[in-house]
Amino acid sequence: MPVMRKLFLDDTRPAPDRSWDVVRSYDAFVHYIKQHGVPDLISFDHDLHWTHCYPESGEFAAQEIPYERYAVKTGYDCAKWLVENGYKLKGWRVHSSNVVGAANISRLLCENSATGKGGTVAFRGGNAATPEDSD
C-alpha cells in the first residue's frame, strides 16, 4: 500500500506528526510542488509572516486582507498559485487562526475544485487539529 504524502504549510507551527512534509514559505511551497507534485493532502496556514497577523491598522481580524500590500506572500497566495497553474488538489484543509484568511483559502479552493469539497480545520491549543477534532 502506498504511503500517503502530506504537506504542512506553516511558518512557525510544528506539523501534527512526523508523517508530514513541512514547508515554511511561499517559495518553499512552490519548490516542493514543482519537485514532488501535488501530495495527497495539503494543510494550509494563511499567515506566513508576523506582518500578516498584525497589519499596520492594528486590526487583527480585518474583514478585507490587503494582499497587494504584503511583501511576504501568504497561504492564500500558495493556494492561488496552485489554481492559476492548473494543479488539481487531492485533499486539503486550512489550519489557520486567521478566520478571514482561512475563509479566503477555503472559498478559492472550493470554487476551483471539481467536487467543491475540502475543509477548514479549527486550531486548538497551538497544535494542528486532526479531522476528527473539527466537529
Residue by residue, pLDDT tens for the chain (135 residues) are 788 999 999 999 999 999 999 999 999 999 999 999 999 999 999 988 766 665 555 555 556 787 888 888 999 999 999 999 999 998 999 998 888 889 999 999 998 876 545 554 444 334 343 333 333
Global pTM value: 0.79
Report which of 94, 100, 30, 24 is spatially closest to residue 60, judged by C-alpha positions.
Answer: 100
Domains and CATH numbers, the chain: 6-133 (3.40.50)
**d(C-alpha 63, C-alpha 66), whole Å:** 10
The label of the residue with cell 494543479 reads 87
Q: How far apart are CA 40 and CA 10, in angstroms?
A: 17
Question: What DSSP character marks residue 135?
Answer: -
Contact 79, 109 (CB under 8 A): yes
